Amino acid sequence: DWRMAGHRGALIVLEGADRAGKSTQARRLVEALRNQGYQAEGMRFPERTTEIGRLVGSYLEKKSNIEDHTVHLLFSANRWEHVPLIKEKLKSGITLVVDRYAFSGVAFTSSKEVKGHLSVRCRHGGFKETELPNFSLHWCKQPDVGLPKPDLVVFLNITPEEASKRGDYGTERYETSDFQKKVQKRYAELMDDKSLNWKVVDAAQSMEDVHNAIKQLSEAIITEARHQPVGKLWA
């Protein structure tokens, strides 16, 4: 059967704000693909079980503080340490459904205010205090340049209002509606990049409708990707 032999699997990423339903949909997609006879496995980032992942997990649970640039690099390192595994799985024909990837990395870090102030000299003498600039998208992308490029990035789109109807955010770092609104804007900027295969799915639909939409997109990309080499992200 062509689904089994000789072709690489597809790299499918699910992105979106918290409460958009990424984890549920990722699980359901893997299950549905397997029922159709595809080899499919789930993966998620951050993957908190490695040494780097434990550092990131403890940071997210607010059990530790890590300087902003440093934790950004740790999130990226957590992806890089899985690259050999990702490549091996894809090569052996397994389609990977990944819950968050480099896009989360960029969207979240670039939504942070840099702490601290900068003194700048005014035209008429003297100094004035100004906020340090935010993390640029450009800076945030660099550590992830060259990662395996997703064949498909599904963006589960939900308004902050819809998301808040689904119950409270958790208590981890970043789980506030103000921060999530900034994150949404950064995702929108990332989606302007036409070198990536972004597909926006309305996550306010029923769980079933969202699932069917993602499944259809995924089956199409599995067929398309199987004869193509895996690309390099942002390279």
Chain positions contacting ligand TMP, by CB under 6 A: 45-46, 60, 75, 100, 104-105, 108, 174
Least gap, CB of 144 to ligand TMP (angstroms): 8
Residue 9 or 16: the one with the smaller Cβ distance to ligand TMP is 16
Residue 131 or 172: the one with the smaller Cβ distance to ligand TMP is 172
Write the single-letter amino acid at 1: D
Q: Where are the beta strands (DSSP E) in 138-232?
A: 152-157, 198-202
Least gap, CB of 93 to ligand TMP (angstroms): 26
The closest residue (CB) to ligand TMP is 105
Least gap, CB of 176 to ligand TMP (angstroms): 10
Residue 14 or 230: the one with the smaller Cβ distance to ligand TMP is 14
Least gap, CB of 235 to ligand TMP (angstroms): 18
Residue 176 or 228: the one with the smaller Cβ distance to ligand TMP is 176
Contact criterion met (CB below 8 Å) for 97 and 12? yes
Contact criterion met (CB below 8 Å) for 26 and 42? yes
Q: What is d(CA 125, CA 221) in angstroms, rounded to the nearest whole number?
A: 60
Q: What is d(CA 97, CA 30) in angstroms, rounded to the nearest whole number?
A: 7
* Tokens found for residue 89: 């799985």
Least gap, CB of 114 to ligand TMP (angstroms): 15
Residues of 148-181 as b/e, b for ≥16 C-beta within 10 angstroms?
bbbbbbbbbbbeeeebeeeeebeeeebeeeebbe
Contact criterion met (CB below 8 Å) for 81 and 52? yes
Residue 105 or 150: the one with the smaller Cβ distance to ligand TMP is 105
